[in-house]
Chain A
Amino acid sequence: MATVLVVDDSASLRNMVTFTLKQQGYDVVEAGNGQEALTKAKGTKCDLVLSDVNMPIMDGITLCSELRKLPAFKFTPILMLTTESSPEMKQKGKAAGATGWLVKPFNPDTLLATMKRVVR
């Protein structure tokens, strides 16, 4: 089954996403910030990355561009979870190599529906 890397500094949101994904049979790797995610990403084969943008230590945009430098993440879908739906923010994400975004707040159903657009 597919493995999803979930990155968010808010434990409640991470819990919610993880719970939703696990219930659907996904394997989940969690990280509380970009730096931690990057470390975990290096040892994991991920099929999807779901990352918050605003995080301490390393933000989601930086994480995204760092991940894209890893050969294993060249084509991996990376979705940014963001409350900012402004065009600039999307632009920034795209420039860093993000696949798409999911605007917060979202509910589990939206999450799963959106994921279908990037995970087989």
Chain B
Amino acid sequence: MSIDLSQFIPTFLEESFEGLEVMESGLLNLDANDSEQINAIFRAAHSIKGGAGTFGFGHITEFTHVVETLLDEVRGGDRAFTPSLQSLLLQSVDCIRMLLEAARDGVECESDQIGTVHQELVAELEGGAPAPATDTPQAHPADTGAQQQKGWLIHFVPEPHLLMTGNEPILMMSALAELGDTELSVLEDKLPEFSELNPEELHLAWQVQLFSDCSEADVREVFEWVEDDCELTITPLMDTAVESAPAEEPAPQVDTPVEQPTAAETPAPTTQETPKTAAKPAARKASQEAGSIRVGIDKIDGLINRVGELVITQSMLSQAGSELAEQDLPAVERLHEGLVQLERNTRDLQEEVMRIRMLPISFVFNRFPRMVHDVSAKLNKQVELKLSGEQTELDKTVMEKIGDPLVHLVRNSLDHGLEPPEERLAAGKDETGIVHLNAYHQGGYIVIEIKDDGRGLNTERIREKALENGLISPDQPLAESEIHELIFRAGFSTAAEVSDLSGRGVGMDVVRKNIESLGGHVSVQSETGKGSTFTVSLPLTLAILDGQLVQINDEVYIVPLVSVVESIQVADSELQGIAGEGRLFRFRDEYIPIIHLRRVFDVASSAATASTSLMVVVEGGGMKVGLIVDDLQGQQQVVIKSLETNYKRVDGISGATILGDGDVALILDVAGLIKIGLEPTTKHELHRKNEQLQVEEEALA
């Protein structure tokens, strides 16, 4: 029979990646006296090795085997867990991860690191430690290969307790019969008197003539599990078989094996033995057992999509229902009640379904202990990483995308935030710096804080840098917090600034861009000498969105509520009275550019020309703009439908949704909109105007 093993590979990979996490976190905090901990690490390696072998990844088995052997020695107390071994084992975890990833992607792993680490592991294993236990296969006597041999004569005398090991002679005899023709004799001379017969014990013995050209090893294999529970002699069966047979008188031959007592026939013992519960309940692992199932993410996405459709249908019904409400009919009353209930149930259902995709942020946080360990070693800094709020949940999709920006922020704290030990001591601080990752829910958002107790942002240097790069003008008065915000501006991070660590050519502006593309926001608070806190807030899910509905002619667009600063009514004269064809507007103490959505989306102008316009002030990509719209409609939660998967990517649009009346409405991407809606000349003008404004203000002061 053939079974396609590939169907089990995804599960194998998934649990192996989890196993690697266990190994990694275990290795980082290994307490040599905690045997359960080292056992857990060993088990993880062991399972990866076993599974890899089963599912055809021999090279992973080979690599992991060496790791496992080392761990086994540590576990057995035969090898000291030194920092160098720790680092080597951590590197091995990386290698296994690479190998598994390559296996998952169906490619060859090309990293040189694998070979190097493997060599180091082997060297470690061979040097200064007991030689690895090699499996010496049992030395079988060489097959006699006698010309006249026609098979084997087997003399099998089991111990009385054999049945209690679960082995059954009848099955062994059938196994022999598969090797060739057999002639069985039952030797019953050891059978006790009937009165002394214990039905649970076995007192029979067998002599078997096996006519086969199989090897002695083949025969031994049949008795492999009972070697120690029987007397077994295997001798070549020559043509003159009787000569080599034991001296005993041959017993009468039987064709069928005799019946022997088996478990089924055995009467239950009269004394009931209460099994001792030897194992401890192991409470801390118990949580993993709380019934859970693995489900493919595509199934969940499918479910969420369906529920999304349901929400849309429900709002269509609600709308139709409210139109009927004017008719005074008893049926309408009942319909209305039903609709209210439907709405509530739909909302509950949607929340429940969304919760399925929610995972604790510990999935992201878990990578930091290792990273902090590695980076701080490289920087020669002493760092303590504190994690809190790891159980705070957020959507899996958001989680996948927030990993990199967070890594960058943490690296930044380690590299630029925390001072070297000497500097910290000189400043009267503890030698060990603290980086604290914290997560909590606030409104519909998850807030993640990256806090360090380092030197804080250097306001003066940021200012100089910003001047150099032309982000600000020399006489521009800026509050401290405004200067801090400059680090997020595109063009702030320069090549000179990029170190080996926080480097990777990614600046804070990219971090902000990534976070904003998730509908989130990042800010920084800093105090010189005391440290900085970066605060990232993200929507809990990317599947729904709180939106402000705006109307242009007959078209409805949705502005994400998170981007909206304010909605105001402005007189047309205010818009046109400004030079540059009404492209700038004075909003409080700054000028903001104006974007006419009508022009961007090329919507025909409505017939009625009012003397006032509505302007929605929105913020995105680090700047504010005013969007001119015809009308404001309500605010509502909408289900996001991807435009990319259904059509193609469109600048300025992040997705679409279906409204209660069945119409499709586009969801605006504010940052993208600013990019396409603003002409370069407007930007220059804005810059000039704002500078002018400051000069005026200073003159006034």
Contact = CB atoms under 8 A, between A and B. Distances in A.
12 contacts: A10-B50, A13-B12, A23-B1, A34-B279, A56-B39, A56-B282, A56-B285, A66-B278, A94-B165, A97-B164, A108-B1, A117-B222
B569 interface: no
B667 to A, nearest CB: 39
Contacts of B266: 74-75
Interface string B67-80: 00000000000000
B296 to A, nearest CB: 14
Interface string A39-67: 00000000000000011111000100010
B259 interface: no
A62 B3 contact: no
B263 A76 contact: yes
Contacts of B50: 10, 13, 83, 104-105
A104 B54 contact: yes
Given A99-B225, A107-B5, A86 B12 contact: no
B167 A74 contact: no
A115 B172 CA distance: 12
B175 interface: yes
A85 B65 CA distance: 13
Nearest to B273: A69
Given A97-B165, A99-B225, A69 B263 contact: no
A16 B8 contact: yes
Contacts of A6: none
B16 to A, nearest CB: 8
Interface string A79-120: 000010110000000100111110011111100100011111
A55 B164 contact: no
Given A94-B165, A117-B175, A118-B168, A16 B5 contact: yes
Chain B interface bracket (under 10, 10 to 19, 20 to 34, 35 or more)? 35 or more
**Chain B CB within 10 Å — which of A13, A75, A85, A94 has the most?**
A75
A118 B294 contact: no
A36 B1 contact: no
Contact of A117 (B3, B11, B47, B171): B171
Contact of A32 (B168, B224, B275, B289): B289
A13 B54 contact: yes
Given A56-B39, A116-B174, 13 more contacts: A13-B12, A13-B54, A16-B54, A24-B1, A34-B279, A38-B275, A54-B43, A58-B279, A66-B275, A66-B278, A85-B135, A86-B135, A104-B50
B263 A74 contact: yes
Given A69-B276, A77-B167, A100 B225 contact: yes
A11 B33 CA distance: 29
B171 to A, nearest CB: 6
A78 interface: yes
B40 interface: yes
B361 to A, nearest CB: 24
Given A86-B135, A94-B165, A97-B165, A13 B51 contact: yes
A3 to B, nearest CB: 13
A83 B53 contact: yes
A98 B171 contact: no
A30 interface: no
Given A54-B42, A118-B166, A75 B262 contact: yes
Given A54-B42, A97-B165, A10 B285 contact: no
**Chain B CB within 10 Å — which of A16, A62, A66 has the most?**
A16
